């Protein structure tokens, strides 16, 4: 029995090793999500989810220029586990880990060189899971994590459809791709790439029927959005389409220089450079005899998804480096055969993957640690909790508060009209349209502050705003708490 047991153990050892690495990545991502991960923009997502749980509707009752599925997803779990930022950030980390597992599992299953199968899967897992963008942005209370999970799941299901006649597979791919776009339109271009690939590479069943099933199922996640449109066509159209197409750049002026800098930030990132070089090296792997026609088509799909999502994020105005995180899963899949190609050409020993794989894992881990340390967040949720505690202490019951969205969320107080989405306050819209969209212009907010409408004003990381509003001359008391200036006790000379 001993030889049989040893053979069985050896058979399952690669899978167990991969599972252990994925478990370690999950622990790291969850820890980061609960301790360090923070961005100010997550505040309006969390506040919106809190308002949904209070019975309000996006677009109709407050401004929320995003597609709504991730909002409802967060609200659902916060209703079960509590109104805490920890819940959606843990969900985001779990979704990102799931995307890593799906990508690495695909490579582990499909890589054609048995002796390199584990090494290739580890390459994908590490280059994806320890990627700086995935680590920092796949763990916050926004849609990046769930979009990565849904698009990788759609890819996994798509590669199984060409050999099958049924329509359930293409319908499932469409449903997943539609759900990703329903969480964030940044992932919308994955859908055309997926349906085009299914139509071109299907060898069983009718291609038009599969495409129709994809499109029909892809529309299902947008049924709730359609209902909101019927209830408030003007508000829904503005938030989902018009704001993104015409008004996002209002806060940025000329976006050309900004977009160019964000789109080329990878040039200063060793991690991004290695990922792109290895993904590009997969082109030479496609010519190897080990890469059969089916695998070649699947790797082409990865490339299509990289180009489609990259084009969409690159053309957004303004764009941000973090948007490109949606490309990382498919670049990491391509990097596995690319790494094999580079390593075997350099070493000439394809049967010995241990040393180059360990070196790649070590360098990637060091790069992730350095990136996280050097680009560490100035703020963390625990710091804002101190600010919220001080605001609660100095603000009278039911006293109006002027603050940012994360603080309203932490205080669990309904924000004043127009304070649900700060970026919209810079828009110059007709008064009737502003009222319909629940937008209050910043200059009108300034007048309210000058008139003493707000019992407390909190301005974070913006000394120019403090000076512009002359808050020190309007309020008798002030205190700085964790980079936030808090003002209260409005002067007696002002009108209330």
Instruction: List Cα–Cα distances, 441 to 318, 418, 422, 448, 486, in angstroms.
Output: 21, 8, 10, 11, 22
Q: Which residues pair with 402 in a beta bridge?
A: 457
Whole-angstrom Cα distance, residue 392 to residue 386? 10
Whole-angstrom Cα distance, residue 107 to residue 122? 9
Whole-angstrom Cα distance, residue 362 to residue 291? 28
Region of residue 482 (phi > 0: left; psi between -120 and 50: alpha; otherwise: beta)? left
Q: Which residues pair with 62 in a beta bridge?
A: 58
**How many residues does this entry show for the chain?**
496
Query: In this structure, what are the phi and psi dihedrals at residue 477, rounded to the nearest 5 degrees?
Result: -120, 145
Tokens representing 318 are 């303004």
CA dihedral over 14, 15, 17, 22, signed as positive or negative: positive
Whole-angstrom Cα distance, residue 391 to residue 458? 8
> Do the Cβ atoms of 482 and 382 come closer than 8 Å?
no
> Do the Cβ atoms of 428 and 441 come closer than 8 Å?
yes
Pick from 379, 175, 364, 383: nearest CA to 274:
364
Query: In this structure, what are the phi and psi dihedrals at residue 11, rounded to the nearest 5 degrees?
Result: -65, -40
Pick from 245, 233, 194: nearest CA to 217:
194
Q: Within the chain, which residues score under 70 in pLDDT?
A: 1-10, 250-255, 347-351, 374-378, 492-496
pLDDT by residue (tens digit) across 209-256? 999 999 999 999 999 999 999 999 999 999 999 998 888 876 666 667
Whole-angstrom Cα distance, residue 100 to residue 300? 19
In a 10 Å sphere around its CB, with 0-12 CB exposed, 13-18 middle and 19+ buried, how is residue 182 labelled?
buried
pLDDT of residue 493: 45
pLDDT by residue (tens digit) across 476-496? 999 999 889 999 999 854 444
> Do the Cβ atoms of 243 and 65 come closer than 8 Å?
yes
Tokens representing 218 are 């892809």
CA dihedral over 487, 489, 495, 496, signed as positive or negative: positive
Whole-angstrom Cα distance, residue 69 to residue 76? 11
Sheet holding 484-490, edge to edge: 401-402, 456-460, 484-490, 475-481
3-state secondary structure the chain: CHHHHHHHHHHHHHHHHHHHHHHHHHHHHHHHHHHCCCCCCHHHHHHHHHHHHCCCCECCCECCCCCCHHHHHHHHHHHHHCCCCHHHHHHHHHHHHHHHHHHHHHHHHHCCCHHHHHHHHHHHHHHHHCCHHHHHHCCCCCCHHHHHHHHHHHHHHHCCCCCCCCCHHHHHHHHHHHHHHHHCHHHCCHHHHHHHHHHHHCCCCCHHHHHHHHHHHHHHHHHHHHHHHHHCHHHHHHHHHHHHHHHHHHHCCCCHHHHHHHHCHHHHCHHHHHHHHHHHHHHHHCCCCCCCHHHHHHHHHHHHHHHHHHHHHHHCCCCCHHHHHHHHHHHHHHHHHHHHHHHHHHHCCCCCCHHHHHHHHHHHHHHHHHHHHHCCCCCCHHHHHHHHHHHHHHCCCCCCEECCHHHHHHHCCCCCCCCCCHHHHHCCCCHHHHHHHCCCCHHHHHHHHHCCCCCEEEEECCHHHHHHHCHHHHEEEEEEECCEEEEEEECCCCCC
């Amino acid at each position: 029995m001993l030889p049989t047991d040893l053979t069985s153990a050896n058979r399952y050892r690669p899978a167990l090793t991969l599972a252990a690495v994925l478990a370690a990545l999950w622990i790291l991502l969850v820890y980061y999500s609960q301790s360090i991960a923070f961005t100010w923009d997550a505040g309006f997502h969390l506040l919106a989810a809190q308002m949904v749980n209070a019975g309000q509707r996006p677009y109709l009752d407050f401004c929320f220029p995003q597609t709504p599925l991730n909002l409802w997803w967060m609200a659902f779990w916060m209703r079960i586990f509590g109104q805490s930022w920890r819940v959606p950030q843990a969900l985001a980390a779990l979704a990102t880990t799931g995307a890593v597992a799906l990508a690495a599992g695909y490579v582990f299953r499909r890589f054609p060189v048995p002796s390199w199968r584990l090494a290739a899967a580890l390459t994908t897992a590490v280059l994806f899971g320890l990627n700086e963008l995935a680590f920092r942005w796949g763990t916050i209370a926004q849609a990046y994590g769930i979009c990565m999970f849904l698009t990788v799941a759609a890819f996994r299901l798509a590669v199984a459809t060409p050999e099958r006649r049924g329509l359930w597979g293409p319908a499932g791919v469409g449903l997943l791709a539609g759900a990703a776009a329903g969480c964030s339109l940044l992932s919308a271009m994955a859908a055309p790439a997926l349906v085009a690939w299914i139509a071109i590479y299907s060898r069983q069943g009718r291609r038009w029927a599969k495409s129709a099933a994809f499109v029909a199922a892809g529309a299902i996640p947008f049924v709730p959005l359609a209902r909101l449109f019927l209830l408030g066509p003007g508000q829904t159209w503005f938030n989902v389409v018009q704001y993104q197409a015409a008004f996002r750049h209002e806060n940025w002026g000329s976006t050309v220089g900004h977009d160019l800098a964000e789109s080329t930030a990878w040039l200063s990132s060793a991690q991004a450079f290695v990922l792109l070089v290895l993904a590009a090296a997969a082109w030479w792997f496609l010519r190897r005899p080990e890469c059969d026609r089916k695998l070649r088509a699947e790797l082409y799909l990865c490339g299509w998804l990289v180009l489609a999502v990259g084009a969409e994020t690159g053309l957004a105005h303004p764009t941000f480096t973090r948007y490109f995180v949606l490309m990382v899963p498919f670049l990491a899949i391509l990097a596995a055969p690319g790494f094999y190609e580079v390593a075997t050409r350099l070493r000439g020993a394809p049967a010995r993957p241990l040393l180059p794989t360990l070196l790649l894992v070590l360098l990637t881990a060091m790069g992730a640690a350095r990136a996280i340390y050097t680009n560490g967040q100035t703020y963390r949720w625990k710091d804002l909790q101190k600010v919220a505690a001080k605001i609660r202490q100095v603000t009278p019951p039911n006293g109006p508060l002027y603050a940012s969205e994360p603080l309203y969320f932490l205080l669990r107080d309904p924000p004043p009209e127009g304070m649900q989405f700060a970026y919209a306050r810079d828009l110059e819209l007709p008064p009737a349209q502003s009222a319909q969209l629940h937008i209050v212009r910043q200059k009108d907010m300034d007048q309210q502050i000058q008139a003493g409408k707000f019992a407390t004003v909190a301005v974070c990381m913006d000394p120019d705003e403090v000076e512009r509003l002359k808050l020190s001359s309007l309020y008798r008391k002030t205190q700085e708490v964790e980079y936030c200036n808090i003002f209260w006790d409005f002067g007696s000379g002002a009108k209330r």
